[in-house]
Structure 1
């Protein structure tokens, strides 16, 4: 293994005199050596033959797989409000599950009135122990009042709370858009299908928990 060794000399300074001038004179006092070398599991630093500390090597990287989907089960909670958008998001999600070999019988779809109702149902599904991840789909479009802000903020924070309280990944697939054109563009239009993207996130998170973080 490669190693790097360095010898250091500690010195003492005192004052002498030459031709009436006081000059610094260096006298060796002590020597010690330090070596740094690669070892299994990290980098060791040794001083005077004694190991002083260990620098850990690179840590393991745990990543969810989108190809190991066998046995994973998913629930999709969908808001009926703005169904012209949410149904397109759902179609994108279901197509993604199929593309990544998730069996149709391993996906349950639950409809709720609106995005505000999604978090409660998501948490209940997470607590059931039947699913590896919950996908939450909705569409909140700004109107003339502040109702948009209340629903958008509450639904987003509610989905996060459902994840934390149930211990099951709850994926946010709720659009918050300024107008219907923006929403449709993100439901299969020129901006892609955010339902499909959220489904892919659900697969990766389900795999991460199942294969690496399972208690």
Structure 2
């Protein structure tokens, strides 16, 4: 279906819009390639080649609506949706890598994680906790645990607090990239539960204080991802 509008059509649309660009739109000659088709604007007419879209085309004050409505992908029964379940945690095994540095924070994050695992029926014997010196060392250990194929997910816990030097950025960035790489390389979900805070007060607030317990939240993510991989993506 080819659709064309005269300069008068566009001028009327431009006049109805307060945009300065639109008010001079019909005086422009613009040739460009956008998403596979070319638009040529002139003072005569504006041809639009045939196009197929799920909805309508709207641009520069001109609306082109499809006459035939087709349901979106989300509305069709044939599309399958996979979501990890928090109620199917029994039998799933987890490793938790915890940094000793800033232990006053990481211990509380670990407690929150363990309580959450228990809440969702993960057995104690299905959880192994591995302590490392600091957040910098988390990534390599998470990678080794993931490659062992003994766990359905690896939860990584640490706390990096900003100081007077750039050391904070180095450790925080390395911890994040290390956990991310461990998940990609091992094929096992590795969950980032490392706090990166400006001061100790912020960290404690996120380790069971007024901002909740981020260790508990990370454990929920670990359960959901482990369930997704085990029950849907094997």
- State whether structure 2 residue 216 is matched by structure 1 residue 196: yes
- Tell me the residue number matched to 1:72: 92
**C-alpha distance in 2, partners of 1:179/1:75?**
28
1:105-124 equivalences under 5 Å are 105-124=125-144
Gaps of 5+ in 1: 1-54
1:166-177 equivalences under 5 Å are 166-177=186-197
Structure having the higher strand fraction is 1
- Tell me the residue number matched to 1:130: 150
Aligned residues: 162
1:1-215 equivalences under 5 Å are 57-58=76-77, 59-214=79-234
The normalised TM-score by structure 1 is 0.73
**C-alpha distance in 1, partners of 2:102/2:90?**
33
Gaps of 5+ in 2: 1-71
Deviations 1:154-178 (A, max 9, x none): 1001100000000000000000000
**C-alpha distance in 1, partners of 2:161/2:201?**
10
Root-mean-square deviation (CA, aligned residues, Å) is 1.5
Structure 1 residue runs of 4+, over 2 Å off? 55-58
- Tell me the residue number matched to 1:10: none
Deviations 1:54-84 (A, max 9, x none): x963521100000101110000000000000
Superposition deviation, residue 109 in structure 1: 0.2
Q: 2:114 aligns to what SS in structure 1? A: helix
Structure having the higher helix fraction is 2
Q: 1:68 aligns to what SS in structure 2? A: coil
